Structure 1
Amino acid sequence: MVTIRPFALRDTESVITLWQDAGLTRSWNNPHLDIQRKLAVQPELFLVAADDRDDVVGSVMAGYDGHRGWLYYLASAPTHRRQGIARELVETAEAKLVEMGCPKVQLMVRPGNEATMGFYDALGYEQFEIGATGKRLIAD
């Protein structure tokens, strides 16, 4: 049994450890800065799953730009997988996006993480054949 709640500053190190354990961190992203930036923009869309001891066992960041919603940093602790935590995080984030008037939500899956596609398929997400590009505007 977990509780989905807003991220709190006291969760910072636990969330970063979770992201590292789940293989979500990259050398070119500073997770402390990612958290700091999220807390400055739509912090209500940064959620964690906490167990009965209030230990963080899952996380998701969501965002809404007025056109579509996005999901980022979805993770569940390796010791708590297959318990519905990621599903509950996604469903809660989606509900919050709907409350904001968000008509659709998307996410990106990195190459090498294709095993997660079955999870997203089961939640009703459809795969797109698109290319993604990006440009760093601020060095971390």
Structure 2
Amino acid sequence: MNASTHETLTIKPIEDADVGDVVALWQRCGTARPWNDPAADIALARKESNSTVLLGRHDGDIVASVLVGHDGHRGWVYYVASDPDHRFKGFGKAMMTAAEDWLRARGIEKIQLMVRPDNSKVQAFYESLGYFEQKRIFYAKWLDGREPTP
């Protein structure tokens, strides 16, 4: 993917030197969870060609991110983050547009994401971008035998 610019936000894929800063961003934004290792999630996303981490830079600093990938049928996004000091500048929207474009370029026609039920601010953000809620029963299982997490 070529770098693209959204006003003062430049978006391009993550590089090796960015990993520590991205993990710090996710922790500041509250997108990291104790049961997920963000560095391992980044490494897994970068391992194959069906996923990546896109970063938004403002004045050279990483201020936004999205982990985007697909399973061959549907696209998914995770770790959508915008630095708390740079919110309400359109960076979250720019990251979602970049994720959508990345998926379209790979022939993926539908994008999905998960939002925790108590995160009403994020729900309103996605609704403002044209996303709609779909009622589903969601099941999960840790393959390493861990107990269920929230």
TM range (shorter): over 0.9
Tell me, which stretches of 5 or more residues in structure 1 are unaligned? none
* Match status 1:87 vs 2:93: yes
1:34 corresponds, among 4, 21, 41, to 41
SS of the aligned residue for 2:72 comes to coil
Moved over 6 A (4+): none
TM-score (norm 2): 0.86
SS of the aligned residue for 1:56 comes to strand
Select the structure that is richer in helix. 1
Measured in 2, the distance between the counterparts of 1:131 and 1:99 equals 30
Work out whether residues 45 and 93 of structure 1, in 8 Å CA contact, stay in contact via their aligned partners in 2: no
Q: Which has the higher contact order (CA 8 A, sep 6+)?
A: 1
CA offset digits 1:35-77 (Å, max 9, x no partner): 111110237631000112x211000011111111001100000
* Match status 1:128 vs 2:126: no
SS of the aligned residue for 1:27 comes to coil
Q: Kindly tell me: are residues 119 and 23 of structure 1, through their superposed partners in 2, closer, same or farther at Cα, counting changes over 3 Å? A: same
Partner of 2:14: 7
Measured in 1, the distance between the counterparts of 2:26 and 2:49 equals 20
TM-score (norm 1): 0.92
Tell me, which stretches of 5 or more residues in structure 2 are unaligned? 1-7
SS of the aligned residue for 1:45 comes to strand
Partner of 2:29: 22
Measured in 1, the distance between the counterparts of 2:122 and 2:73 equals 25
Work out whether residues 51 and 70 of structure 2, in 8 Å CA contact, stay in contact via their aligned partners in 1: no
Matches within 5 A, 1:90-101: 90-101=96-107
Q: Percent identity?
A: 40
1:113 corresponds, among 111, 119, 126, to 119
The alignment yields a C-alpha RMSD, in angstroms, of: 1.6
Q: Kindly tell me: are residues 83 and 139 of structure 1, through their superposed partners in 2, closer, same or farther at Cα, counting changes over 3 Å? A: farther
How many corresponding residue pairs?
Answer: 139
